[in-house]
Chain A
């Protein structure tokens, strides 16, 4: 508590930070020089992506085809973290129903400014539409399920900005949002397991590949992007709602 204890900790922290920085520099010295990395498979991978999978965005090809199984794990890390977060907050509030509550004591209920409302009215649909665009074009151009999902959720949050809490939960009710999130999580696994039924291995790209550059192409890469987009956008909206509930009366 005393100032001297705080200073001691700060000095120890500074010494540790400098030591870690030095260690990291020693470790990084063994990396290829900046701008000169040469992966042995680079050209092979690019040819494979376009010819064998009809995907033009190599990032999506790596994430959802080569590393499809790893991305499954990453999606679930996200969902489990959101689940744990929701449980912690809901249990803390002792919550039994999802009915909207009045603002907590000491928190003014401010009506949004007309300018902000007008902005939100235009921004919400545009941003959500753009999010879906980014998700659906994941195999073609920069973007995909993760980025597009966050864009969709951003549009949803703008609805709170322009309409306030009550309108927000009316437009994005909890059950459908969580259903959207769950469907994204299940769909990813189902598509991976579906490849087993089709006679392939788990997460194998078994859907029709289409033609590189088309909206629906690259087989499972496109579909998996869609499922990840659903899970991520649903998860982030749940995150917003749970944080917003913290500003409301507890009972």
Chain B
């Protein structure tokens, strides 16, 4: 069963990539990029997890073997979440601009440069 979390991360990533290619409108594409990106949370937390371990919070310096999940993986996932929210907003603003200049939020239906 040790493979399941990693397989889930790989599957979520692949689904996001498929959705980015298959969606017709920019908003769906942006959502699919977010899905692909969220696979990194699963991957990072899976790498950091340890059987039987608690949260990495210690009231006093541990004398013996530490039983806490890896805080480095958690710290990376944390900043990942916030940056993902901001970049999604930026992509949505770009999609608005594209809709305005091209007349459609579907990349295939953009007005051509020649003004058609």
Give A residues with C-beta under 8 Å from B. 1, 5-6, 9-10, 12-14, 16-18, 20-21, 24-25, 28, 31-39, 42-43, 45-47, 49-51, 56-59, 61-63, 67, 71, 74, 77-78, 81-82, 84-85, 88-89, 92, 141-142, 144, 146-147, 150, 212-213, 232, 235-236, 239, 242-243, 246
- Give the CA-CA distance A9 to B97 in the complex, in Å: 25
Closest CB pairs A-B (n = 10): A13-B21, A21-B14, A17-B18, A58-B56, A81-B86, A58-B71, A24-B10, A35-B51, A28-B6, A34-B2
- Give the CA-CA distance A51 to B63 in the complex, in Å: 12
Q: Does residue B115 face the partner (Cβ distance < 8 Å to A)? A: no
Interface of B is mostly: helix
| B58 contacts A46, C-beta separation under 8 Å | yes
15 new A-B contacts, CB < 8 A, other than A39-B70, A46-B56, A88-B96, are A9-B21, A18-B14, A24-B10, A24-B14, A28-B6, A28-B9, A34-B2, A34-B6, A51-B61, A61-B71, A67-B75, A74-B83, A77-B83, A84-B93, A212-B59
Count how many pairs of residues, one from A and one from B, have CB atoms less than 8 Å apart in the complex. 173
Give B residues with C-beta under 8 Å from A. 1-7, 9-11, 13-15, 17-18, 20-22, 24, 43, 46-51, 55-62, 65-66, 68, 70-72, 74-75, 78-79, 81-83, 85-87, 89-90, 92-94, 96-97, 100, 108-109
Interface of A is mostly: helix
Residues of chain B with a CB closer than 8 A to A78's CB:
82-83, 86
- Give the CA-CA distance A81 to B86 in the complex, in Å: 6
| B89 contacts A81, C-beta separation under 8 Å | yes
**Given A34-B2, A63-B78, CB of A24 within 8 Å of CB of B60:** no
Residues of chain A with a CB closer than 8 A to B83's CB:
74, 77-78, 81
Partner of A62, one of B62, B71, B90: B71
- Give the CA-CA distance A235 to B1 in the complex, in Å: 41
**Given A34-B5, A78-B82, CB of A21 within 8 Å of CB of B13:** yes
**Given A34-B2, A47-B62, A57-B57, CB of A17 within 8 Å of CB of B14:** yes
Residues of chain A with a CB closer than 8 A to B85's CB:
236
5 A–B contacts from the bound complex (CB under 8 Å): A42-B70, A56-B59, A58-B58, A63-B75, A85-B86
